[in-house]
Chain A
Amino acid sequence: MIRDKVHARSSVLLMNVTRIRWQHVVGAAVLTVVALAATLILQSEPESPVATLVRWMPFILEGFGLNLVMSFLAMLLATLLGVPLGVAQVSRVYLVRTVAKGVTHLFRNTPWLVVLFTVMYVMPMTVDLGLTRVDISDWAKATLAFALPVMGNISEIVRGAIVSVPTGQWDSAQGLALTRRQTMTHIILPQCVKRSLPSWMNWYALLTLATPMAAILGVREAVGSAQAAMEAGGGRPDFLIPFYLFLLCLFFIYIYPIALLTKALEKKHAAS
């Protein structure tokens, strides 16, 4: 549109040329060149922030994929470590019980960010496996760091669920000559699953929401990718709102259904 206007203007000038002298023609030509240059400058003006966002969207979504991978792996690890830790908290062996409680409370009561930095600096960059050396990437370290606080909280959920199973279940299982271990694995823990599922899901949601902290370490998850994209697009301040709004929606769309499901399960559990 702008170009049409410029053309119109220059043709008006050219029409005038017929009635004026060659100096005017040169002047008009110069003007035309300036106008065209102006048009070109107008054309290469930075694209709108939204257009930039759309262009970088696949890159950010790829980053979000890493958030999901980190959340799955961290949750898996937190569960695999947290459940035995919770069981150990009710051990009859004083030492086991005390150590398990210590570990649980340590990770429940420290900021995730501090755990993240600690893991970052404590863990080696590479592990020597004899034949091969394995590099531990930053995202793997971050995954471990997110798993630890959640492990502590799952441990506490499991402990709470175990002690909330009526003692009559222990009495009847042991009356049937089951050992303590058999009672735990066949009678008590299966009944804990239903009790602790809503809290477990709640911690999954919190864990997923915490994964962008990995961006601080330079991990290219969604937020880190978005920041890189803004940088690559020229780092204009007007990128900030659309990019962060997009990230907000991205996480919300993923987490909110989980929150709703958690609520529904809680209600169902309370009713039964």
Chain B
Amino acid sequence: MQRHEPYGAETASVSADAPIVSIRDVRKFYGSLEVLKGISLDVLKGQVVCIIGPSGSGKSTLIRCINGLSDVQQGSISVAGTEVNDARLDVVALRRKVGIVFQQYNLFPHKTVLENVMLAPRLVLKESRASAEQRAKALIAKVRLTGKEDAYPGELSGGQQQRVAIARSLAMRPEIMLFDEVTAALDPETVKEVLTTIRELAADGMTCILVTHEMGFAREVADHIYFTDGGVIVEHGPPAEVFSNAKDPRTRRFLSQVI
């Protein structure tokens, strides 16, 4: 299992261009259904990687495996020096390094915006109230929601809720951010405000792995694109290549449908 690990015992600090996320031959089963059929991909620090592909091709499953929300049966997943597919995994330590944002926002409905953002730093990082609050307010400002600190999620638009979800993840100071179709539940106007937030994050040097159906956005921000179908990566490369010169017929068919 460790065979494919690119940098064995050493950690991410080895070299600047060693991948911060490295997935090797990952297989995942739901019962007898094989959902990931040997996936490999690498993400360098500061890179933005987009995963695109038809529904049911395993994109969400793949992204959830990176922070241990889903387990895998085979292969290795190395995240900032931590092996995820390991029985001795310290899952809390892993998740402190990896933020995740979902399609359905999943804000805590019984807590205000400020409380949503402050919660994990207080509980997990054991930050003082004052420091957590100060950072939370700065992050809320960063996603352009100053003034909404005391609102409850139910009082916000979808786009606003999604930006709170991003701020909430950032409050944990992650090294890597995962986005699973974060704009898919939004109407076209609010998609833009969320994409702006992600674009700024990418420009700040955050390592981002995005599952998205926003082809224009993927083309614009991604350093690398992975195309999945039926639990395998059928094609990958820089956006210009994949979008204009897709070699695999499945990629071509999918792109012709969505663009």
Contact = CB atoms under 8 A, between A and B. Distances in A.
* Contact-residue size bin, chain A (C-beta under 8 Å from the other chain): 10 to 19
A191 B95 contact: no
B16 interface: no
Interface residues of B, number: 24
A189 to B, nearest CB: 10
Given A168-B106, A172-B165, A178 B69 contact: no
B69 A176 contact: no
Contacts of B124: 176-178, 182
A270 B81 CA distance: 48
Interface string A180-197: 001000110011001000
Given A169-B106, A177-B172, A191-B110, A186 B123 contact: yes
B92 interface: yes
Contacts of B64: 171
B112 interface: no
B96 A171 contact: no
A174 interface: yes
A53 B69 CA distance: 68
Contacts of A175: 67, 69, 95, 98-100, 102, 169
Contacts of B95: 174-177
A18 to B, nearest CB: 98
A166 B106 CA distance: 9
A175 B98 CA distance: 8
B104 interface: yes
B102 A176 contact: no
Interface string A184-225: 001100110010000000000000000000000000000000
A147 B82 CA distance: 49
A177 B119 contact: no
Interface in B158-177: 165, 168-169, 172
Contacts of A194: 110
A15 to B, nearest CB: 92
A179 B92 contact: yes
A176 B110 contact: no
The 6 A-B residue pairs with the shortest CB-CB distance, nearest first, are A172-B106, A177-B95, A168-B106, A176-B120, A175-B100, A177-B124
Given A171-B100, A171-B106, A172-B107, 11 more contacts: A166-B104, A166-B106, A169-B106, A169-B108, A171-B102, A172-B108, A175-B67, A175-B169, A176-B119, A176-B120, A186-B119
